[in-house]
Amino acid sequence: MQVDELLKPFPIKEFHPFPRALLGPGAHEMIGPEALKLGFKKTLVMTSGLRGSDIVHKITESMKYHGLDVVLYDKVESNPKDYNVMDAVQLYQENSCDSFVSIGGGSSHDACKGARISVAHDGRNVNDFEGFNKSENPRNPPHIAVSTTAGTGSETSWAYVITDTTTDPDNPHKYVAFDDASVATLAVDDPVLYYDCPVDYTAQCGFDVLAHASEPYVSRLNFEPSLGNALRAIKLTAENLRQATWNPQELSGREGMMYAQYIAAQAFNSGGLGIIHSISHAVSAFYDTHHGLNNAIALPRVWAFNMPVAYRRFADIAEVMGVDTHGLTDVQAADAALNAAIRLLRDVGIPERFTDVTQSSYSKNRLGTGPTKYYENAAVIKGDDEDVDRITRHVLGDACTPGNAKECTFETVRPVVDHCLNGDLDDLIS
């Protein structure tokens, strides 16, 4: 069902599936044996390459050791593009593969989900499946999704996000597809694989988790089964993100963030998202910036925007973020939650507005993958009136927007977008 239908009076709620999962230090060593159990013979491995780490080499060699044939597609770009998906589909078909493994963050998993759906429809373009449950053939190849970041949740969710590069180059379109058929067969969440994740990337992915957890907690979908997971994920993020960022070789912080990201995704899977994600998708569409970074910058502004319709819920968030809420009204506690989020953002060193994001604070050469084909001439973020307008229009068309806590119109959302681009976080602190 589409979000609009879920918001009707007396809606029927819908719970979306999760895959089986292996969680914990060392879980990645089970990929080969698990692939054999699932009947894999010739597997297309999809990844960005994770250059600078030996993760892809270790996993593919282990798969070969277990007798599997491996074909490697290691050109998935950040904010995966439709051509990444279709190149992988072609490689899969040319090599007569029978299964998929994705290794990486959300980009690798999302591109792989799109490729599986395309393969199940004789190689039809992935962009044909934008929307809710557009698969006509629910049977697609089996897929083991191996996460190397604590952020995405894509290894356990029914969502995948693709940039459609066939649209007007001045107005690129990044969309979320939700499809029960896209859910992986097995998720592997191993905090040992996070050890190579750079400091800034760890922090930014952590704010993707905070967005995944807080958006369903205040969403108008008000999906009861998601609320406990959402709060728990916020608590784990507040307790572990600083440690994971600044003491990256210490297991407890990494493991705490692994569970935070896993259960946050399970919260939004049926509980919905909101305009933190819509703003993030829009800015990525125009500038190819990192999803977690975008979420981090949007989060405090969107919390402030949504607060008047959900003070009680934000007061709960304050409590799990470690605020002593005794004696505070809901409004005071909600304000304290916002202060705590800004403190966390500053503690882990995230830029405070989009126009602060320069090539030096955000490298498109992350882990050595080089500039992406589609955005090699991308401008630095402008933030002028025209930019604010086009980002706002993209936000209003995003599939995450109807689930936002507060109703969104161009007039109400535009100032939020403008603040993300140009505003000062100190304006939000009480």
Number of residues counted as binding Fe ion (CB under 5 A): 1
User: Shortest approach of Fe ion to residue 302 CB, angstroms?
Assistant: 13
Distance in Å, CB of 400 to Fe ion, minimum: 9
Q: Which stretch binds Fe ion (CB under 5 A): 81-89, 166-174, 201-209, 407-415?
A: 201-209
- Paired with 176 in beta bridges are 161
CB of 58 to Fe ion, least distance (A): 27
Over 242-274, what HEC string results?
A: HHHHHCCCCHHHHHHHHHHHHHHHHHHHHHCCC
Is residue 189 close enough to count as binding Fe ion by CB under 5 A? no
208 binds Fe ion (CB under 5 A): yes
Residues 264-293 binding Fe ion (CB under 5 A) are none
- For residue 302, how far is the Cα from the chain centroid? 17
Q: Does 319 bind Fe ion (CB under 5 A)?
A: no
Residue 110 interacts with Fe ion (CB under 5 A): yes or no: no
Closer residue to Fe ion (CB): 291 or 364: 291
> Does 82 help bind Fe ion (rule: CB under 5 A)?
no
Name which of residues 135 to 174 contact Fe ion (CB under 5 A): none
**CB of 63 or CB of 273, closer to Fe ion:** 273
- Assign 3-state DSSP to the chain and report helix, strand, coil percentages, each to 5: 55, 10, 35
Q: Which one, 70 or 146, has the nearer CB to Fe ion?
A: 146
259: Cβ contacts below 8 Å, ≥ 6 apart: 23, 233, 236
Closest contact distance (angstroms) between CB of 276 and Fe ion is 8
The DSSP annotation for 196-211 comes to: TS-HHHHHHHHHHHHH
- Which C-beta is closer to Fe ion: that of 43 or that of 261? 261
Angle (CA) 364-81-23 rounded to 5° is 80
CB of 175 to Fe ion, least distance (A): 14
Q: Quick one: 208 or 288, whose CB is closer to Fe ion?
A: 208
Stretch that binds Fe ion, among 14-22, 56-64, 204-212, 301-309 (CB under 5 A): 204-212
**Residue 123 token pair:** 């190689």
Q: Is 342 left (phi over 0), alpha (psi -120 to 50) or beta?
A: alpha
Sheet of 42-47, strands arranged across: 20-23, 186-189, 143-147, 99-104, 42-47, 69-73
Helix axes 275-287, 385-396, angle to 10 degrees: 130
Binding site for Fe ion (CB under 5 A): 208
